[in-house]
């Protein structure tokens, strides 16, 4: 099944869909010329902070020859501040746009919005829920580096409880064979039970590890994340969690020589900038891949059924 009406969670991405989007992204980065959507309009509706996600969605639509309408800071500047429901806002915006990218602060908001939308709605992050398009570009980055996903060991590090990118990526990795996941998280940010149950159900091997060096030594991919300050009420607890794990030059001496280090960005102090020149650091390239993957996703959502 390669057709999707909306994208709200990464469990929706089947193998054929992934193959189609990745092949399109590969083709577009060589020559975007044949893939044009003139006259089509993307609306970006962002109720939470963003740099990469919003700008790469907008750049993607512009490079496809389409146009963009946008509300950043929608929490403050849209009719939300007057009390309008998300559903009503989406019903209105879906009259103006052919596709909507929504970032919201509530878990499940994208699914609710999809039900109200007449046009494809894409989840660009819903609170501590999911970030399926980030998972797409993450998987695309891993695939470009290693060729195959099967058999890889991936260490996920940092805020695995509130971080939506690792949650979405786990759902995608569950589709592959003999992938091993190693979770390294401060005690208050451990990977949640719903994901662990999903991995068990899909026979994905996973382990928790407290020592980052031990995890780094086994990993083909170290996926570092920011501790999500905005989801913490207790700033002391946040500080403690944020300082727990750090990738620096000494840590990288323990990592495999052909490993890669990913990060959805923004990065704070969890990856030492001194390590940026290490060729294993691929997070800026990863962010760059977001453009091609989002172009491919928008294009497939708007042209599916057209042969």
What is the binding site for ligand NCD (CB under 6 A)?
A: 52-53, 125, 131, 134, 164-165, 226, 264-265
Does the annotation count 131 as an active-site position?
Answer: yes
Instruction: Give the separation between CA 273 and CA 256, rounded to whole angstroms.
Output: 19
Q: Residue 74: CB partners within 8 Å, gap ≥ 6? A: 45, 46, 47, 80
Q: Which is nearer to ligand NCD, 35 or 232 (CB)?
A: 232
Token pair of 33 as six digits: 């010329």
Closer residue to ligand NCD, CB minimum distance, 37 or 271? 271
Which of 20, 52, 202, 231 is the catalytic position? 52
What residue has token string 């989002």?
Answer: 294
Judge whether 76 and 129 are in contact, CB under 8 Å: no
Q: How far is the CB of 62 from ligand NCD (least distance, A)?
A: 19
Least distance CB 159 / ligand NCD (angstroms): 8
Which pair of tokens denotes residue 173? 């990795």
Q: How far is the CB of 92 from ligand NCD (least distance, A)?
A: 25
Considering the complex, state which of residue 37 and residue 262 has its C-beta at the smaller distance from ligand NCD: 262
Which of 103, 112, 145, 294 is catalytic? The answer is 103
Find the catalytic residue in 53, 141, 165, 225.
Answer: 53
Question: CA-to-CA distance for 64 and 238, rounded, in angstroms?
Answer: 41
Nearer to ligand NCD, 37 or 227 (CB): 227
CA distance readout (Å), 198 to 4, 201, 212, 243: 22, 5, 24, 29
The active-site residue, picked from 104, 131, 145, 167, is: 131
To the nearest whole angstrom, how small is the minimum distance from the Cβ of residue 228 to ligand NCD? 6
Q: Which residue has the tokens 């719903």?
A: 194
Full DSSP string of 13-40: --HHHHHHHHHHHHHHHH--TT---TT-
Active site residues: 52-53, 82, 103, 131
């Amino acid at each position: 099944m390669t057709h999707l009406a909306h994208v709200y969670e990464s469990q929706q991405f089947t193998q054929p869909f992934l193959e189609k989007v990745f092949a399109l992204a590969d083709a577009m980065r060589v020559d975007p010329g044949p893939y044009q959507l003139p006259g089509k309009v993307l609306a970006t509706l962002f109720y939470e902070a963003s740099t990469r996600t919003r700008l790469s969605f907008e750049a993607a639509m512009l490079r496809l020859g389409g146009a963009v309408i946008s509300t950043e800071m929608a929490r403050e500047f849209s009719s939300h501040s007057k009390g309008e429901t998300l559903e009503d806002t989406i019903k209105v915006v879906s009259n103006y746009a052919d596709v909507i990218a929504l970032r919201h602060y509530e878990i499940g908001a994208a699914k609710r919005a999809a039900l109200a939308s007449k046009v494809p709605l894409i989840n660009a992050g819903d609170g501590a829920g999911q970030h399926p398009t980030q998972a797409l570009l993450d998987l695309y980055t891993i695939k470009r580096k290693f060729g195959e996903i099967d058999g890889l060991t991936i260490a996920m590090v940092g805020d695995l409880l509130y971080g939506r990118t690792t949650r979405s990526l786990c759902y995608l990795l569950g589709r592959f064979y003999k992938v091993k996941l190693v979770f390294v998280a401060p005690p208050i940010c451990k990977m949640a039970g719903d994901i662990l149950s999903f991995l068990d159900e899909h026979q994905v091997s996973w382990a928790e590890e407290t020592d980052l060096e031990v995890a780094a030594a086994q990993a083909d991919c170290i996926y570092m994340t920011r501790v999500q300050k905005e989801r913490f009420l207790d700033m002391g607890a946040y500080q403690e969690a944020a300082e727990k794990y750090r990738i620096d030059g000494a840590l990288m001496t323990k990592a495999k020589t052909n490993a890669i280090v990913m990060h959805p960005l923004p990065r704070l102090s969890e990856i030492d900038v001194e390590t940026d020149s290490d060729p294993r650091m691929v997070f800026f390239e990863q962010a760059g891949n977001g453009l091609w993957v989002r172009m491919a996703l928008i294009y497939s959502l708007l042209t599916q059924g057209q042969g």
